[in-house]
Structure 1
């Protein structure tokens, strides 16, 4: 009897019964299943009249779902990819074979990218350790322009520096004057809340005439993990280069 594409078919695959349609099994005419049900081959029947295939019945559900949706969907804990590849090869379903080969390729390694910002505060005065009316405070942040722009609020940047920050190209390293009382602590709190960690903090003191100069230098570090995909390596190779070190202001600059 000739079957139509909507005919219901029961398959006994390795002792497990699956129910589907002829059109699903013949989705890829050049496959073994396509040949079985388009008249090119004569499939065997079991005692219950089901078409019998002597293969893995549990894995066949993934084969059947691929025929239905053209997508390979596997559970996260799936550990039988090699066996599934053998099943796909047996059924000669080329698109499924290609999907499995892609999954078998090593996962892209995570690349570590490190960003640095350095905040330098210079206090000059008779009581330079405290922000009093008798002390002058200058605070500078140094690092990559796009990183500064992304993680700092504009109100923390000195008005005279904002235009220069906008004009510099994205990956230039720059030194920007900051504004505000105790801005070094404000910037530290801002960076900490965004995932940065304080990797180094130094203080130095030296006399300058009748005044005392205190230099405070905080180096902040952010570690970013990104997948090294082909698309990224082609499109973002410059943007995603590893930064091993940044040339920063010397602690004696004013």
Structure 2
């Protein structure tokens, strides 16, 4: 019959079997309970382990089930990783690394989206005056498609500025698939109403995060303005 043992881990008490604690013989726990390492007991004859008491619950469950079972919203990855290193259980260390990276990557994908709006106005005076105005919208197509002002500006430019007839707004969006997409509207400024556009961006959950401005020089009068909107968590270190 498998022997039951009581352990005292940082003042937290657990009862488990010797076979569970020695599941990985090369680990520190394996060496301790096989007999290769000297062991101390407290006044109640519980084996003393100088580790983090609450975190040992997850280590012990891994030894029992060969699975890392964590509560929803678990955040104490640094503590758990340090304990896995302390107990020298390579299989647990590997799973913690994988699960932690998956959580970080998944959180990043879910929590933050960026839309960039840029307005470039040029007046070139060399060999006569020429004027150009360009809007550049960059971001996930699924959000750009929720902005009526963008589609309106595209269609107005197509009608008044002789865009090729086969250029289609929806097809241009589809080309981007799931990557960031730039839609350039080279048209007079009133083809796109900035106030209306910004209201639409705000209405779908984005917040203005940053803005910038550059003015031109010499033979090219240039006004270059841009606005960055974020949906979800702000970057680390910002308020």
| TM-score, normalisation: structure 1 | 0.45
Q: Which has the larger radius of gyration?
A: 1
Comparing both structures, which one devotes a greater share of its residues to helix? 2
